[in-house]
Structure 1
């Protein structure tokens, strides 16, 4: 079985440099490439258990997400695993189904297993249950002032969506959202951005705001859009707070023989694709997934390096407009 000394000899570096590389300590890029090449050639397996005992924690990072069923969460999960692996962490994926009970169980498990830390997307009221000694980074929702929060700029994204619809010729907008206490930080901010833009620019808009959970939301939305479509759809632009809602509207309206985007333009939010080569997708406000991932991992590393408590401000990252098939090309 190859040893660390064998790796050092083949890579032409010292054993200490190999040890630093294996344990996540930064070494020169040229040395990184040589060491990684030697590890792969020798099929060297680091003594992870010994390293973890020395560090008094594992190299596991728990990633808690509410769902894996949307392209956005799927892409986020994929890129998070890649980014953590590059920093010598292993990711443990936990799907909470957007339930606080499951989130708390995962957090307790993480604490008992002495994981390196947690990166979470939670829309629940976790603040009273958070153990501050456990390194945590939150995505989108601010959990406490001592926990870093990384988020797309949802408010600016809403304004950008309304601006694009108007620039492309829409004059009467329908804004589709779903309001529960869990959607205030994302959907709520997106809608506020749209409304502020419309009121500032004198654009007519109507708000479809369902207070249901997602299972009941789709039948309610289908009845609403379908009913309007049968009478003569009165809007020439739709902003939906999520791509899946935008796509749902697209299918209903096309079934009712409306031409999209000639008759009605639609913009969603997230900008994820089912697969990288997907050609037919709704126009959307694209969340900066790679930047969210990189900042989340970076923030976790900073916490691990500096154990002192610190007050963090939410870090908002800029969004972009993604042209799809549901808006007119100008």
Structure 2
């Protein structure tokens, strides 16, 4: 089945069919007719072949810090489903915290091998500009989840500070006055904002984040969190403690340590994670966590990016999605 058949059945031009497939603006009634014809004929666009004859490749590059983090799975699912529905294919790359590798990926946009980038890694505008000089090309980068406000690029995220504030408020509401905060030794926006939320929540309740209660990890790993929690358990009085972590992965390591030491959860120590990864429901006890709308983050990132690709005059967008505190057994 060819694109000509779709155009004939929908009674429109080939150019109109192409615009619908590529997610460009057409009248809604026209879009419905074309999409109906595509469905009826079971037509599958050959994006790779068509891209050889035009400057637009119908290809989106997704850059994540590391593929092993389960947090990204639902985001990637939202990205893939939405991109396909709008006529785009995706390429997935991981930087593994290598700035050189990250910039090499960014350069694919500069060389027009991809039409746009969804960036889930932290990279300053100054660094991006080392590869991309054209302002209109640079606009075709959308920051997802992690972002830098000063980049003046579109981003899709949640209110990290508010989410952390709610987590600490919950711990205080169940009587946990000795608050620990587990984070990372990095300058990621999400870490900074969540820390701000912790400090503000404590201050609003006449408390402060003690220096010795802020635990900064070298690596985002269950093993590292387990190791640091063991040190705390061996050297401090364990009573009336509430722990908030920037990742469910860290929280899982903490629970492993607490269980090994036979610490009662949440009676002696309550724990809240962040991200609501699938495994958070299977921990013992089940983990209270902040749920990010991963799938929706992916969906909105693609929609935002396609708007930038198809309209270079469009302004940067700031899209803040809702989060949710999921209360489970580690605090209940």
Distance 2:191 2:61 in 1: 25
Q: Pairwise mapping of residues 126-145 of structure 1 onto structure 2 (< 5 A)?
A: 127-130=126-129, 131=132, 132-134=135-137, 135-139=140-144, 140-142=146-148, 144-145=150-151
For residue 172 of structure 1, report the CA deviation from its aligned partner. Answer: 1.9
Query: What residue number does 2:324 align with?
Result: 320
User: In the alignment, is the contact (CA less than 8 A) between 1:127 and 1:143 conserved in 2?
Assistant: no
- Stretch moving more, 99-108 or 53-62: 53-62
1:165 corresponds, among 149, 168, 171, to 171
Q: Pairwise mapping of residues 82-231 of structure 1 onto structure 2 (< 5 A)?
A: 82-125=81-124, 127-130=126-129, 131=132, 132-134=135-137, 135-139=140-144, 140-142=146-148, 144-181=150-187, 183=188, 185-203=189-207, 205-207=209-211, 208-210=213-215, 213-214=218-219, 218-219=223-224, 221-230=225-234
- TM-score with structure 1 length normalisation? 0.84
- TM-score with structure 2 length normalisation? 0.84
Which stretches in structure 2 are left out of the alignment for 5+ residues? none
User: In the alignment, is the contact (CA less than 8 A) between 2:82 and 2:303 conserved in 1?
Assistant: no
User: In the alignment, is the contact (CA less than 8 A) between 1:146 and 1:309 conserved in 2?
Assistant: no
Task: Kindly provide the CA deviation profile for residues 118-140 of structure 1, in whole angstroms up to 9, marking residues without a partner as x.
Answer: 11012244533332332111122
Query: What residue number does 2:273 align with?
Result: 268
Query: What residue number does 1:290 align with?
Result: 295
Which stretches in structure 1 are left out of the alignment for 5+ residues? none
For residue 110 of structure 1, report the CA deviation from its aligned partner. Answer: 3.2
Other structure's SS at 1:133 match: helix
Query: What residue number does 1:305 align with?
Result: 310
Task: Kindly provide the CA deviation profile for residues 10-45 of structure 1, in whole angstroms up to 9, marking residues without a partner as x.
Answer: xx42143544433334554643552232242xxx44
Aligned residues: 316
Distance 1:155 1:107 in 2: 29
1:253 corresponds, among 244, 255, 258, to 258
